[in-house]
Amino acid sequence: MALSLDEIVRVNVIVSPMAQSAGTFDIGLIVGKSTNIPIEDRVKIYSSLSDMKSDGWEESDPECAAATIYFSQNPTPVKLVVGSWDAANGETASEAITACRSANNDWYACYVVDATAGEIEAVAAAVEAMEPASVYFYTTKDEIVTGNIMETLKNKSYKRTFGQYSTTPHAAVAAMGYAMGANTGGANSAYTLAYKTEVGVTPEKVSTTEALKIRELNGNVYTNFGPKFKLLTQGTMASGVSFDEVLNLDMLQAEIQIGAVNALVMAKKIPQTEDGLSLLLSAISEQCDKSVIRGAIAPGVWKGSPILTLQRGDTLSKGYLVLAERIADQTQDERDKRVAPPIYVPVKMAGAIEHVVVNVTVNR
């Protein structure tokens, strides 16, 4: 009998823990009162409209009608989560959204079919505080006057709610579908919702006064411009901030968090030294680079308050910095608790040009 080679060379294979991802930001949720999905299941995931129909959904179902618009956009989103609202047992719209979040964490954007103004307001409040971070799209055909749902949500400064005025049922699902389809995460994939085409939505015949009122209320409308263009304006949330800024910051925050956690989990130990701290800073920088590649962060001049060595007027050559206080300045209590010094990530958003003035000077 031969002796084991372990007597000469012993090989131990150690498999590192798998790094976790920051989650998905390209899947929408449509919630309705149809009974196609058992309440105990709460949600189902579909990859196409035909996938839904083969599962028993009819075109007359409002969820299916909304999904038709969702999957019709270009680029086309790859997945849709459909959720059940148990209205027959007295469940509210906000409770349904919360239950769908508990049942599935894959979706980022959501829509509730045929929601009333009161239900829209309640869902907006729920989504504003939801974890993981989410956004809410709604459609309203309420008269464009003071006191409508757009003004109500504007006054509450909700940054996670996107409202669209339209007489086309479920029109805002088009914006949601485009947003989820366009968010590939690849190089130069950053986008805005301004001036996009909404497939399956009829442009609203609004006057200039009505269009300006909608914009004043931080709402959105799909309408005609000039003789040929049909465009969505302006791509803003109820607070007035642009949708793409909310999305890009949500992605950045999630990626930084998961990057730092992965660094802690995958290392045998991160020493409480400057070298150890550098490992954390490097892990965070790798995540910030993803936003640079997408085009969400870009080089620019820092115009905020000073942060450690960063001064107002300094140029962020990469679009961001990752800074930390010194290990040597930690108190003994902080060392005993094994906490890192505060880490700061100043970033410069790439922004977007959405309005242009061109001066033409003619000389004869």
Instruction: Answer whether residue 17 shows pLDDT above 80.
Output: no
Residue 11: the pLDDT is 84
Place of tokens 């701290």: 277
Q: pLDDT tens digits for 236-275? A: 999 999 999 999 999 999 999 999 999 999 999 999 999 9
In Å, how far are 23, 210, 310 from 20, measured between CA atoms? 9, 47, 31
Q: What is the DSSP letter of 111?
A: E
Residue 21: the pLDDT is 78
Return d(Cα 164, Cα 178) in angstroms, integer.
14
Termini Cα distance of the chain: 104
Residue 12: the pLDDT is 84
Q: pLDDT tens digits for 191-201? A: 999 999 999 99
Contact 114, 48 (CB under 8 A): no
Q: pLDDT tens digits for 295-318? A: 999 999 999 999 999 999 999 999
Return d(Cα 122, Cα 125) in angstroms, integer.
5
Instruction: Answer whether residue 7 shows pLDDT above 90.
Output: no
- The helix, strand and coil proportions of the chain, stated in percent and rounded to the nearest 5, come to 35, 15, 50
Is pTM beyond 0.85? Reply is yes
Q: Write down the mean pLDDT value for the chain.
A: 96
Place of tokens 């411009």: 225
Q: pLDDT tens digits for 131-179? A: 999 999 999 999 998 899 999 999 999 999 999 999 999 999 999 999 9
Closest to 137 (Cα-Cα) out of 119, 124, 150, 128? 124
Q: pLDDT tens digits for 23-59? A: 889 999 999 999 999 999 999 999 999 999 999 999 9
Mean pLDDT in residue range 113-128: 98
- Where does residue 187 rank: exposed (0-12), middle (13-18), buried (19+ CB within 10 A)? exposed
For strands 229-233 and 220-225, give the pairing: antiparallel
Does residue 132 have a cis bond before it (omega within 30 degrees)?
yes
Return d(Cα 115, Cα 216) in angstroms, integer.
23
- 121 by DSSP, 3-state: which? helix
The three-point CA angle 104-245-224 to 5° equals: 100
Instruction: Answer whether residue 16 shows pLDDT above 80.
Output: no
Closest to 249 (Cα-Cα) out of 239, 261, 238, 241? 241
Mean pLDDT in residue range 92-114: 97
Q: pLDDT tens digits for 212-223? A: 999 999 999 999
Percent of the chain at pLDDT > 90 equals: 93
Question: What residues pair up with 220 in beta bridges, in sequence order?
Answer: 164
- Where does residue 204 rank: exposed (0-12), middle (13-18), buried (19+ CB within 10 A)? buried
Give the Cβ contact number of residue 13 at 10 Å.
4
Contact 189, 180 (CB under 8 A): no
Token code pair at residue 118: 């009161």
Residue 3: the pLDDT is 86
DSSP string, 253-302: HHHHHHHHHHHHHHSS---SSHHHHHHHHHHHHHHHHHHHHHTSB--EE-
Residue 292: the pLDDT is 98
